[in-house]
Structure 1
Amino acid sequence: MNDDRPADFRARIRDSFSKQAAMRTIGAELTRVEQGTVEIELPFDEKLTQQHGFLHAGIISAALDAAGTYAAYSVLDPDASILTIEFKVNLMSPGRGERFLFRGEVTKPGTTIIVSDGRGYAISPDGPAKLIASMTGTMMVIRGREGIEG
């Protein structure tokens, strides 16, 4: 990954994430911000489950999308923003754990389109983290569009 981006990408990502009402609503926390990689964690909350008591697929997808999109945002110039235009999620195991970790990583940087991959893990005190989902997402870089800044 090219390391010539301004060092303030971390501050821009943290500021943008703090404005995400959806992430705040589900209790998600930004825990790692590196160039090309972002991690988001959230604790288990019964209010975020489906009928069997597992973390809902929609919550998993939202957190993976945010992690992948912010990973892509980390490789952008300060005057650009980004929007997800497509993603595919594979749910591999029930979302059962005390905490969940969602990691997004840039797979293919670009000036117009960026591709990222994500992995979601369930974390329990009695064993290693378990892979519960993967995602591939495509993001479109936005420049000069009113109402879509940073």
Structure 2
Amino acid sequence: MDEVDPGDFRTRVRQSFGRQAFMETLGADLTRVEHAMVEIEMPFDAKLTQQHGFLHAGVISAALDAACGYAAYTVIDPDASILTIEFKVNLLSPGRGERFLFRGEITKPGSTIIVADGRAYALTNGPAKLIASMSGSMMVIRGREDVTG
């Protein structure tokens, strides 16, 4: 395994995201990693819709959770990890688009609990349309061999 600079949060986030089989199942890609902000994008896929042909709320929630969790991951120590402990999603408009963007941003960093906000956008040829918002709490995990990276 390659040595990773412990201060290189971008590499740590990308490596961890690469191990998320569910995000791969959704066809999601990590497209932007900044301090306290992460973006994930995915194409429309009819296999991920509900009965009306809109992107399923569970898919939207999972992608927002991942974006917020990885945003939290950018602000913690290299030897710590993150687990979501609570979130609320507001579905604002049907998930209809060619692609979707999920952005997670840190609202309040902390040594034990981190609060993040997420926004989901439907992308087409026109302007991006806000389809959902999320507020979540993430717990910083230290010293557990079964919860790493």
Q: TM-score, normalised by structure 1?
A: 0.95
How many pairs align? 144
Match of 1:24 in 2: 24
* SS class of match (1:89): strand
Could you list the structure 1 runs, at least 4 aligned residues long, displaced by more than 3 angstroms after superposition.
Answer: none
Q: TM-score, normalised by structure 2?
A: 0.95
Match of 2:145 in 1: 146
Deviation (angstroms), 1:101: 0.2
Distance, in Å, in 1 between the alignment partners of 2:140 and 2:7 is 19
Deviation (angstroms), 1:149: 1.1
Structure 2 residues without counterparts, runs of 5 or longer = 1-5
Structure 1 residues without counterparts, runs of 5 or longer = 1-5
Match of 2:3 in 1: none
Counterpart residue type for residue 139 of structure 2? M
Match of 1:93 in 2: 93
Match of 2:48 in 1: 48
Counterpart residue type for residue 93 of structure 1? S
Spell out, residue by residue over 1:13-57, the C-alpha distance to the aligned partner (whole angstroms, 9 max, x if none): 000000000100000000000000000000000000000000000
Match of 1:3 in 2: none
Match of 1:128 in 2: 127
Give the superposed CA RMSD: 0.7
Counterpart residue type for residue 129 of structure 2? K
Change (3 A) 1:87 1:49: same
